[in-house]
Amino acid sequence: MPRRLFFWTLCFVAWASLHAQTNSGGFPFWIQRKRVDPAPKPAGFGRPASAEELKQRDITVLSDGAGLPDGKGTAAQGEAVYRDKCASCHGTNGEGNLPQGPQLVGGIGTLATDNPIRTVGSFWPYATSVWDYIHRAMPQNQPGSLSTDDTYAVTAFLLNRNKIVETSEVMNKESLPKVRMPNRDGFVPDARPDVGKNTRTFGENRNQKSQAR
């Protein structure tokens, strides 16, 4: 090929490459750089939650009672609430009604046997966790619908049926953390190093909860 024809052929190829890259919004192949796409536009749905809305949803209760709200209830008061809201799934006296709801009463002393029965009374280590779970997740068809007083009352009812508190004992944010569950010492920290490095300690959770209030 004559030199002149080779030269013009090379120029044409370079021009065509430059033209194609420029028209496509890019850069010539010899000065290409990473494309930075514009930030996506907001979808237009929702809005930032207000401080009051966040406060209403900050319902976590820790095992030492941090986060428990004002209110109170007794087992006697809780019996009526339980029969109206809970008995259809868990049985009239907490005996369970599978598959709708598990047993809540009894089983204390069975965990180390060949037939362990895990209930609120036999398995759960903290009474405050019972309150927290009922408050946020029960009843199943209307979770979170129980008032604070009703939650204290139903918790007291279950504790009483498990022979942990007396019928007349008032459960509130001061008395409930003092209830010692039969299986309080049945749980141990996870000793696996890969879990421990990424798991908050009880104290860290408690401090975070205190700072948020």
What is the per-residue pLDDT for 30?
A: 47
- 173/153 Cα distance (integer angstroms): 12
Residue type, 29: F
Instruction: Specify the pLDDT at position 41.
Output: 79
Q: Running along the chain, 213 residues long, what does each successive block of 10 average in pLDDT?
A: 64 62 49 66 84 86 96 98 97 95 97 97 98 96 95 98 97 98 91 67 51 49
Say which CATH class 61-185 falls into. mainly alpha
The domain spans of the chain are 61-185
Measured at the alpha carbon of residue 89, what is the angle toward residues 170 and 138, in degrees to the nearest 5? 55
- Would you state the pLDDT for residue 7? 64
As a 3-state breakdown, the chain gives helix, strand, coil percent values, each rounded to 5, of 45, 5, 55
CA nearest to 120, candidates 202, 188, 185, 182:
182
The whole-angstrom separation of Cα 117 and Cα 91 is 16
Q: What is the pLDDT of residue 170?
A: 98
